[in-house]
Amino acid sequence: DTDSLYSYENDWSNTGDIIDGALQYVSTDSYDRTRKNVSIDVRLVSDEDGKIFNGKTDWTVGTYHQDRKHTLYRFTDYSEDYLYGPYSEATELSTDYKTKSTAIYGQLDTALSSKTTLITGLRVEKWDAEYSDNQIFSDNYGTLENTNLSIDNDEVLYGGKLGLNYQADENTLMYVALSKGYKPGGVNIELALGEGYKTYETEALWNFEAGMNSSYFDNKLISRLNFFYAERRDQQIDTSVQIDNGKFIEYLSNAAQGHVFGVESELDYYPTDFLHLYSRIGLMKSKFDEHNYDPEDEDANPLEGREQAQSPNYQYNIGLNYNFMSNWRFNTNIEGKDSYYASNSHNEKISSYTIGNAALSYIGDNWSVNLWVRNITDKDYAVKAFYFDNKIVDSNENGDEWDEDEFFTQKGAPRTFGLKVSYDF
């Protein structure tokens, strides 16, 4: 359980100067939150004597239950002294969000032969979610608004897996699997979101994968290769909406359908007892088969056919670890990724990049020294981005006019180095 109270003054930027007829303002904002989470997971797993179906099948069966509750009381107070008189307003918001999950699940691993294993699994979950809020707005002119919202969601969810493992020899395992998963729907509890943005639906995921794990030359070369295809229905996505000039809110929404496919490769090579070479490479293609950005406008910013956000076509990590002179270790690697769309709410991209890292360590009996450097070439690259209007270009009696949307990026760390000394008592 967690209880927290957070409050602050919004008027830290008040200079006392006259701006648009306002002499000064005072504003406070407070959040009183309570979070409770209770969960239990009980499972039974067979041992060698507990196998069923003529001793050929291992089994697992279990049950899971979770209760979550999140309550919030928010109070906002704002007042200004204008040349023509004072103005003040206050907003009180109370929210109560409760979810309950009860599930039963099981899995059977059946040996069809000495080399082939059939895997079957099933999960059934009862999901309940309840949300309610009450918002009261008042000002010194006597305006009073009292709004209430109540949302209930009650559904039964199903997931499962069907797979086949084939142990070709002691060094090679091949597998194929089809699985269905889900992510329950929920509620965006942000106050300023319109009612059409408040809820998002349950997502269903169908995933097919096939691959092979192998080792060669007395385990000096180890490889893992995995191909996958996933189809997401009522896909839950992170997106945002601009609610006021210069202000936007991130929230969860649903794209009608999307898919992704690709390949993942891991390679480890140990040519000597002192040297380890490795690579991690991923290739991927993604697409929105159907998408609608604004749940209150069916034609708003459709992204059908576009790649999904945060889904680069490739990413990699290639490096080596070298041990020498008994106590010394040297590590270096390069990592990078392709360009990708920054968000599902606009079409701006984050550029591709490659950075290098290195470290040199001395390891004693109970102490060590590590000298490290990250982003060796001091590469300027972005890791997150935003796209919205944030600049006033004119002001008159009709209000502020704003510039067109702009692209803002959050940069990754520049060249960074350090020295770490550790001692074990």
pLDDT digits (tens, 9 = 90+) for 64-102: 999 999 998 888 887 765 555 566 777 888 889 999 999
* Distant-in-sequence, close-in-space partners of 206: CB < 8 Å, separation ≥ 6: 178, 179, 180, 230, 231, 233
31-423 CATH pick, 3.30.1360.70, 3.40.50.1450, 2.40.160.100, 2.40.170.20: 2.40.170.20
Give residue-wise pLDDT tens across range 258-317: 899 999 999 999 999 999 999 999 999 999 887 765 555 655 556 778 888 889 999 999
pLDDT band with cut points at 50, 70 and 90 for residue 12: low
* Whole-number Å distance between alpha carbons of 334 and 281: 12
pTM confidence score: 0.80
Token pair for residue 376?
Answer: 């060796």
What is the C-alpha separation between 241 and 381, in angstroms, rounded?
Answer: 26
State which amino acid sits at residue 190: E
Q: What is the distance between the alpha carbons of residues 375 and 315, in angstroms, rounded to a whole number?
A: 16
